[in-house]
Amino acid sequence: MSSGPRPAEVTALSLRVLYEKSGGERYGLTLQAFEVVLEQVAVKYVPQATPLQKLEFWRDLKLEELALARACAAGHDPAWQAFLTRFREKLYDIARGITKEDSSGRDLADSLYADLYGTSEREGRRVSRLNFYMGRGSLEGWLRTVLAQEFVNRYRKTKRLVSLEEQAEDGVQFSAAPAGPSSPLDSRLSAALDEALGQLSSEDRLVLASYYLDDRTLTEIGRVVGVHESTISRRLEKMLKSLRKQVIAGLVSRGMNRGQAEEALEADVRYLQVDVTRKLQENRPAAFQQDKGSD
């Protein structure tokens, strides 16, 4: 009576199938190196998974691009040739698309290209950024995300160094006033609003934040969420109506009558800025006020 293959044999057989599917051999990647890569990916994302669950997880990876990236990181020339052929121009196009400008886009792509090749060495070996690619998404998408991260990081770094003249050119006249102690009305309104926002789903909150905070267009939000822009429009309208009802109800539950709640909602926060500006005008010397009046 013969027993079936053992789990270790099954796993080894499956790994070989995955290796052949990835085509790592033509990039100079050995089976052992490929198994190490797969194990590394599994440890990062499904550390508690059983061998069978790992196999299921590995099957969903972009195995061919994972093998290519890791072969590039290992310094195999065939892999680099294939990578340059497939992604060099795309890298520039993606960077130009992100920066909306050719020279800065080229600069961004070149900097990433250097990271991908590996300019630093650790233990005598180049450290390539491609070692961080795990194959969960496409290699092109990963490159796009990495470029976007690099661009955002650069922007955030340079933003701290923006001169006052540049800020003035950007229309920034006054720095934001430090947040003072909020009035009881503000606290009640904020609490009611936070409570209403807390009842939203994560996706609804993402839509609201993208629309009101990031000033994204409906099309952009739709692409991020994965629905049509008209759906986003309807959801926004519906959410605003629901939020208004909930905030008013929250204000009423906090001791306001309905009229006061409506009035509190209609107190546009922009009026606070106007008040600040008027306050500054009032505090100016009389000569400046006359100048302002004579203008």
Partner 1 sequence: MPELSNLLRQRFAATENGAGAHPDPDVLTAYTEHCLPATERQAVVAHLSVCGPCREVVALSQPQIPELAAQAVVRPAPASVWRRLFTPALGIAGAVAAMAIIAVLVLQLPQKSVQQSALPRTAETQQAEATPAASQDQSPAIETGTLPERPAVPRSTSTANMDIAVPVPVKKAPVVELRAEATRNKIAAGSNAPAPPPSPERTLALTAAMQKKDYINTNFFAGNDADNVSGDDQRPAKLPVAPQPQPSSASGAFTVTNGKINAFAPSAVSRSNLRILTPNPPSVHFGLMLGKMATATAHTLHLHTPATNPALRASDLGYSALGGPGMFSNSLAKSQSTEVSAAPEKLESGSLAKSDALSAGAMGGASARSLDSASTLWKVAGGKLIKSAGPSQWEDAYPTSGFEFSVVNSHGNDVWAGGTHASIIHSRDGGLTWENVKLGDAATGTIVSILPEVLNVQVKTSDNQLWSSTDGGNTWTMQND
How does DSSP classify residue 255?
A: T
How many residues are present in the chain?
Answer: 295
Considering only 19-27, 78-86, 126-134, 282-290, which stretch makes contact with partner 1 by CB under 8 A? 126-134
Of the pair 136, 254, the CB lying nearest partner 1 is at 136
Of the pair 165, 170, the CB lying nearest partner 1 is at 170
Q: Whose CA is closest to 201, among 233, 247, 242, 229?
A: 242
Of the pair 1, 213, the CB lying nearest partner 1 is at 213
Q: In the complex, what is the shortest distance from the CB of residue 72 to partner 1, in angstroms, rounded to a whole number?
A: 16
The reply to whether 206 sits near partner 1 by the rule CB under 8 A is yes
Q: Which of 18, 142, 218, 261 binds partner 1 (CB under 8 A)?
A: 142
Of the pair 88, 284, the CB lying nearest partner 1 is at 88
Q: Which of 48, 85, 124, 156 binds partner 1 (CB under 8 A)?
A: 156
By rule CB under 8 A, what count of residues binds partner 1? Answer: 53
According to DSSP, the β-strands at 125-127 and 120-122 are antiparallel
Binding mask 22-41 for partner 1 (x = CB under 8 A): --------------------
CA distance 167 to 174: 9
The reply to whether 216 sits near partner 1 by the rule CB under 8 A is yes
Binding mask 42-81 for partner 1 (x = CB under 8 A): ------------------x---------------------
User: Which residues have a Cβ under 8 Å from the Cβ of 244 and sit 6 or more positions away?
Assistant: 265
Give the pair of three-digit tokens for residue 64: 């061919």
Residue 58's SS3 state is helix
Of the pair 190, 277, the CB lying nearest partner 1 is at 190
Beta strands (DSSP E) in 93-234 are 120-122, 125-127
Distance set, CA 138 to CA 114, 134, 145, 201 (Å): 20, 10, 10, 28
Q: Which helix (H) or strand (E) holds 292?
A: helix 286-294
Amino acid in position 37? V
Of the pair 71, 251, the CB lying nearest partner 1 is at 251
Residue 159's SS3 state is helix
Contact 146, 129 (CB under 8 A): yes
CA distance 6 to 14: 12
Phi then psi dihedrals of residue 204, to 5 deg: -65, -40
Which residues ranging from 233 to 292 are in contact with partner 1 (CB under 8 A)?
A: 240, 243-244, 247, 265-270
Instruction: Provide the binding-site residues for partner 1, judged by CB under 8 A.
Output: 60, 93-94, 97-98, 132-138, 141-142, 144-149, 151-152, 156, 189-190, 193-194, 197, 202-203, 205-206, 208-210, 212-214, 216, 220, 223-224, 226, 240, 243-244, 247, 265-270
